[in-house]
């Protein structure tokens, strides 16, 4: 059952990584289109300042502030979740270490001692794998949270400016 859950988590993370890569590529393409269009608007504004698209120029700073604010808020939420997860994992590690100390102290034979050590090693390896998967997933969540507002703004601008 644990292996199935681990495989499901790994598949979910791989899907998330793919989704994130696609969003990053879309963001890059849309940002290039927006920058090119706005550069053209800027050049035409130099030739005809009164006929310039002042509404478009007025959108530039507020949209960046909005995206930065949204990204910061999303990253703060992910960071808080990371702190909670880290605290939970630390408490679990401390509990496991305490249990191990008691189990080792109560050993009555070398065979029992070796069995406990084996169990602890297996548990440690399982936990290490789970924590590495969790860390990877958290990194992806952080990336997605940070990039989503910029992605939305760039896609929206590219569509609007291509009309």
- What pLDDT does 141 receive? 87
- What pLDDT does 34 receive? 94
Residue 65: is its pLDDT beyond 90?
yes
Q: Which of 4-8, 85-89, 123-127 has the lowest mean pLDDT?
A: 4-8
- What pLDDT does 8 receive? 84
pLDDT band at 134 (very low <50, low <70, confident <90, very high): confident
pLDDT band at 124 (very low <50, low <70, confident <90, very high): confident
Give residues with Cβ within 8 angstroms of 57, minimum separation 6. Answer: 41, 45
Residue 97: is its pLDDT beyond 90?
no
pLDDT band at 3 (very low <50, low <70, confident <90, very high): confident
pLDDT band at 152 (very low <50, low <70, confident <90, very high): very high
pLDDT > 70: percent of the chain: 99
């Amino acid at each position: 059952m644990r292996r199935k859950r681990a495989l499901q988590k790994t598949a979910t993370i791989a899907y998330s990584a793919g989704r994130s890569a696609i969003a990053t590529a879309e963001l890059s393409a849309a940002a290039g289109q927006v920058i090119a269009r706005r550069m053209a608007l800027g050049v035409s504004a130099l030739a005809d300042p009164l006929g310039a698209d002042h509404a478009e120029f007025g959108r530039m700073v507020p949209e960046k502030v909005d995206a930065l604010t949204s990204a910061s808020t999303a990253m703060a939420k992910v960071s808080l979740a990371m702190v909670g997860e880290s605290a939970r994992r630390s408490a679990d590690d401390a509990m496991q270490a305490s249990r191990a100390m008691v189990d080792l102290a109560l050993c009555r034979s070398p065979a029992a001692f070796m069995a406990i050590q084996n169990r602890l090693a297996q548990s440690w390896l399982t936990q290490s794998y789970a924590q590495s998967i969790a860390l990877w997933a958290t990194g992806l969540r952080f990336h997605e949270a940070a990039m989503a507002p910029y992605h939305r703004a760039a896609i929206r601008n590219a569509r609007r400016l291509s009309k």
